A and B are shown apart, each in its own frame.
Chain A
């Protein structure tokens, strides 16, 4: 590959608090971008490209980069960062990147970017966390649900998902139900050297379904056009979620296909907010028991550029989202492994979920990324299980 570098000076300086967000969006600007760096002051971007570009192409690429920056940074309101818990300084015994060891042990196998199989250690570790999450759900008498991996396009359209997160969507389709088309596929289908299937798009049926990006949405659609019982609804489910992250896909830290356990609350504002807070306090005890190093702080969802500035500012102002950010000692950084979310009456209004008094229901959820929390745990405690907290050594049995 004949790599090329392109330096760009942002039309407006990128505020320091937005550098990470802008950087993550640069992955979606152009498929010829291999990597991107933003200077600490936010006044310079260096792109690494697959090949040198002609002048006209370079101008078009620069224009797209500037569009991202202006859309996200111009007039951006600095978020109000609120830290609810800070246990990042808890001593943990491991300091190196667990990924090479996981590969060496055959504990993970990469099938494609962002798609991994997990071996026995990681599976047992996830099961150990799952037991704790299920205990949390049981403490709220949450009813168990199983949700599909697919989700209808019309569902996501109804809650504005296409505008907010178009970049991370994953689409599902199938061959048109036509014998000639199916026969032709069976005889000729093959992948090229890049893994691309050599099938014309017109052989596929129109897209009516996507791979689900979240667990709790399914519950909200289940409750659509209904009046809730007086006591509200509390549910729990685990499910596959899909968020395409382009160049940002990275080991178990950022997967395309991952699993989330959620505890979901639907009811009055007080019901949702109180339960969200109780859940946080109960998880604080769980994390203390296992010696987990983490912080809980306000955050925003990764809205796409057109909606980012407004939606992120709104989430921040109303403190709608708090992330559980686990310490990754090997890179002196943190990783979001879960979140405590409140959606106000957004789903209640858009899906006509009503309280007994006729007003729109409020919703919230507590979500845990299972692969991420297992990875973060190994990053903090390593592979010598005799050095793990006694309560986590259960997975040896």
Chain B
């Protein structure tokens, strides 16, 4: 699998995770989406996102990462740089 394909697949899975966590249609999950952009992505929604990321990608979210994963792009970069996130 090429890096590009992996990245694209990862982005699609992030979209699915965010869509499920925030309970919004897939087409509302755009690459520039960030915390606060949707009414659903509030404090409770953010924690739903964190739990879905743990579930989808097998990563362990801690208090430090919660505060940094506040956008689609930040999540994508984190998962790309996180071995279990990129392969699970």
Is A310 located at the chain interface by the 8 A CB criterion? Answer: yes
B64 partner residues in chain A, CB cutoff 8 A: 80, 317
Using a CB-CB cutoff of 8 Å, which residues 288-332 of chain A contact chain B? 307, 309-311, 313-319
Is B42 located at the chain interface by the 8 A CB criterion? Answer: yes
How many angstroms from the CA of A77 to the CA of B42 in the assembled complex? 18
- Contact across chains for A349 and B61 when beta carbons are under 8 A apart: no
Is A345 located at the chain interface by the 8 A CB criterion? Answer: yes
User: Which B-chain residue is minimally distant from A160 (CB atoms)?
Assistant: B44
Is A79 located at the chain interface by the 8 A CB criterion? Answer: yes
Interface string of B17-56 (1 = CB under 8 A from A): 0000000000000000000100100111011101100000
- Contact across chains for A317 and B42 when beta carbons are under 8 A apart: no
- Contact across chains for B42 and A349 when beta carbons are under 8 A apart: yes
Contacts A349-B36, A349-B39 known; A79 to B63 CB distance under 8 Å? yes
Main secondary structure of the interface of B (DSSP, over half): helix
How many angstroms from the CA of A307 to the CA of B61 in the assembled complex? 18
CB distance from A359 to the nearest CB of B (A): 10
A80 partner residues in chain B, CB cutoff 8 A: 62-64
- Contact across chains for A317 and B66 when beta carbons are under 8 A apart: yes
Is B67 located at the chain interface by the 8 A CB criterion? Answer: yes
How many angstroms from the CA of A345 to the CA of B39 in the assembled complex? 12
* Interface residues of B, count at CB 8 A: 16
How many angstroms from the CA of A77 to the CA of B59 in the assembled complex? 13
User: Which B-chain residue is minimally distant from A345 (CB atoms)?
Assistant: B36
Is A390 located at the chain interface by the 8 A CB criterion? Answer: no
Interface string of A337-375 (1 = CB under 8 A from B): 000000011100100000000001000000000000000
The listed residue (A313, A319, A349) touching B47 by CB distance below 8 A is A313
CB distance from A300 to the nearest CB of B (A): 11
B36 partner residues in chain A, CB cutoff 8 A: 345, 349, 360
The listed residue (B39, B48, B63) touching A316 by CB distance below 8 A is B63
How many angstroms from the CA of A317 to the CA of B43 in the assembled complex? 11
B66 partner residues in chain A, CB cutoff 8 A: 77, 313-314, 317-318
Contacts A75-B51, A349-B36 known; A313 to B63 CB distance under 8 Å? yes
- Contact across chains for B51 and A311 when beta carbons are under 8 A apart: no
Contacts A310-B48, A311-B47, A313-B47 known; A346 to B63 CB distance under 8 Å? no
Q: Which 4 residue pairs across A and B have the least CB separation, nearest first?
A: A310-B47, A317-B66, A80-B63, A317-B67
